[in-house]
Amino acid sequence: MVAAMASMNKQLETLSGVPLFVGCSKKDLAKIAKASDEIDRRAGAVLMEQDRPGREAFVVLEGEVVVRRNNRKVSTLGPGGVIGELSLLDNGPRTATATCETDCVLLVIDHRRFGAVLDAVPVMSKKVMQNLAGKIRDLDKRAYG
């Protein structure tokens, strides 16, 4: 029971720092955490592969995940990093491959549960749209200056 409470506190602390969830109340963050599963993965574990179908997203609680696109490293994500959120919205193919660089503890949320959270936490839909708009702006700036 104490370990579960400590784990929930760690989840809420990490989720509160995730840009996608900034602006969510502690109650809303608890809904997100409850809709997620905490998993452990060893260094070298592949979380997702580019161009493969995706139905879940991951939030890094502990460890580091390397993200590669077309076999080129594009980022390393640590605690609070989010991977796979685009596939939650459109069930489209993964845009990158993500591999655990170290042993990791992650929260995973699937498409169905994510949809239920969006329905239950209206501010989340707005945050998701803002986050994606920011990514589009960054890509546009990189592509066109």
What is the number of other CB atoms lying within 10 angstroms of the CB of residue 31?
16
Please report, for the chain, the start and end positions of each structural domain, with discontinuous segments joined by +.
2-128
CB 76 within 8 A of CB 102: no
The structure tokens listed for 50 are 């580019």
Question: 2-128 architecture in CATH?
Answer: Sandwich (2.60)
Q: How confident is the model at residue 142 (pLDDT cuts 50, 70, 90)?
A: confident
User: 117: part of which helix (H) or strand (E)?
Assistant: helix 111-120
Note the pLDDT tens digit of each residue in 67-94. Answer: 999 999 999 999 999 999 887 778 789 9
- What is the C-alpha separation between 79 and 63, in angstroms, rounded? 7
CB 105 within 8 A of CB 61: yes
- What is the C-alpha separation between 117 and 32, in angstroms, rounded? 6
Note the pLDDT tens digit of each residue in 8-60. Answer: 888 998 988 887 777 788 888 898 899 999 999 999 999 999 999 999 999 99
On the question of pLDDT at 1 being above 50, the answer is no
- What is the C-alpha separation between 70 and 42, in angstroms, rounded? 23
- What is the C-alpha separation between 79 and 81, in angstroms, rounded? 6
